[in-house]
Amino acid sequence: MSFSDFDRECMATALQLAERGLFTTDPNPRVGCVIADSGSIVGRGWHERAGGPHAEIVALRDAGRSVGGLTAYVTLEPCSHHGRTPPCVDALLEAGLARVVIASTDPNPAVDGGGIERLRAGGIEVEAGLLVDEAEALNCGFFSRMRKGRPWVRVKSAISLDGRTALPSGESKWISNAESRRDVQRWRARSSAILTGIGTVLADNPRMNARVEGPVLQPLRVVADSRWRIPPGSRILDGPEITVLAGDCSREVPAALADLGIEALPLPAAAGGVDLGELLKALAGREINEVQVEAGGRLCGALLEAGLVDEVLIYQAPVLLGEGGPGPFRLGPLESMAERTHFKLVETARFGDDLRIRLQPANRN
């Protein structure tokens, strides 16, 4: 399918608009829309939060005029079902548009091509696939939940030049610089949940919330704690947000957890902890799209060995921590170099003297 330079410009603008909902749209995808007339954009819109108007509706209102015969550019296939709001397809048909260009079809089984079919049945020319990779990357968690039945899992770690995440004593504050730590907050803010282990809670007593300027839906805080031993007064329990404790279902859940404002999530045990696949499945059931993992090498290694890691964020600082400290992934000894885990480089960025390296497992399905 052939798209013009103006088509690409319009869709790029729609993607930029969609990014404005990066911290607020959960559990919905981030979607942008523009409406164009004879080489100029006349309407712009983006979805801000679940229950609010979708991008197409905002763009139609922003145009403030008849858009009959014009073209709409939407980063995700318009919805064709009643959810929290009426179907966007109805509004586009009523507006009399001549053409709709879509970046990606919607993987939600309730839509999945249905929106395109209804638009075409209504006489609208529909083209899809423009900047599709960019559109899916923006909603990687939504696509993962719909296609795989689990959230997108991103592991974040700060390391030294010699690959350590802490000193042998456990001291780790701070390996990365302030700029890197501010960037981490933005990745937290786009995440639906932050997952850590009880070892990190006991050692570092983190808050695990997103501290950014502007509106943000705070991520769900999830602790893998197979023996239900989180201490009262842990900072991860602070604030009005729920903290979910994933523990071994064969162990009795302490009654005191409810008094601490903790939601217990009993799960089958696996390899000395909880079944991580079942944990992610349970989070998907809560409409969790993206999970950011900030934990020790044991939990991160277990996720990696189970094939449950989609992305790795490494912040490497120009420091040396010496022998004896832990690394970001605790993995069993390899018999040969052929057993190495391979990654592909997605992106690098500089934050002062720190280097952020974004990677994806080379064999990720």
Whichever domain contains 104, its CATH number is 3.40.140.10
Same domain, 342 and 221: yes
Same domain, 177 and 248: yes
Report the C-alpha gap between 75 and 78 in whole angstroms: 9
Residue 173: the pLDDT is 85
Task: Indicate if 56 belongs to the active site.
Answer: yes
Q: Which two tokens stand for residue 96?
A: 């009399």
Burial status of residue 333 (CB atoms within 10 A of its CB: 0-12, 13-18, 19 or more) = exposed
Q: Assign residue 208 the CATH number of its domain.
A: 3.40.430.10
Same domain, 159 and 126: no
Task: Examine residue 41 and state whether it is found in any structural domain, yes or no.
Answer: yes
The residue out of 96, 116, 138 marking a domain boundary is 138
Element (H, E) at 75: strand 71-76
Task: Examine residue 297 and state whether it is found in any structural domain, yes or no.
Answer: yes
Same domain, 312 and 261: yes
The residue out of 138, 173, 208 marking a domain boundary is 138
Same domain, 83 and 173: no
pTM: 0.92
Domain span at residue 263?
Answer: 151-361
Same domain, 124 and 247: no
Report the C-alpha gap between 359 and 346 in whole angstroms: 5
Residue 239: the pLDDT is 84
Residue 137: the pLDDT is 96
Same domain, 134 and 155: no
Same domain, 34 and 111: yes
Q: Which two tokens stand for residue 80?
A: 């064709």
Task: Examine residue 145 and state whether it is found in any structural domain, yes or no.
Answer: no
Nearest one of 275, 8, 313 to 266, comparing CA atoms: 275
Residue 128: the pLDDT is 95
189: helix, strand or coil: helix
Number of Cβ within a 10 Å radius of residue 285: 11
Report the C-alpha gap between 75 and 12 in whole angstroms: 9
- Domain count within the chain: 2
Same domain, 52 and 172: no
Task: Examine residue 319 and state whether it is found in any structural domain, yes or no.
Answer: yes
Residue 81: the pLDDT is 67
Length, in residues, of the chain: 365
Same domain, 63 and 195: no
Report the C-alpha gap between 180 and 355 in whole angstroms: 8
Tell me: the pLDDT tens digits for 83-133? 667 788 999 999 999 999 999 999 988 887 889 999 999 999 999 999 999
Task: Examine residue 19 and state whether it is found in any structural domain, yes or no.
Answer: yes
Same domain, 214 and 257: yes
The residue out of 138, 165, 181 marking a domain boundary is 138
Residue 113: the pLDDT is 85
Task: Examine residue 209 and state whether it is found in any structural domain, yes or no.
Answer: yes
Task: Examine residue 166 and state whether it is found in any structural domain, yes or no.
Answer: yes
Residue tagged active-site, from 56, 136, 290, 311: 56
Residues of the chain short of pLDDT 70, as ranges, are: 1, 81-84, 364-365
Query: What is the β-pairing status of strands 125-128 and 99-104?
Result: parallel
All residues at 6 or more sequence positions from 190 whose CB lies less than 8 Å from its CB, including other chains? 22, 23, 290
Same domain, 16 and 40: yes
Task: Examine residue 11 and state whether it is found in any structural domain, yes or no.
Answer: yes
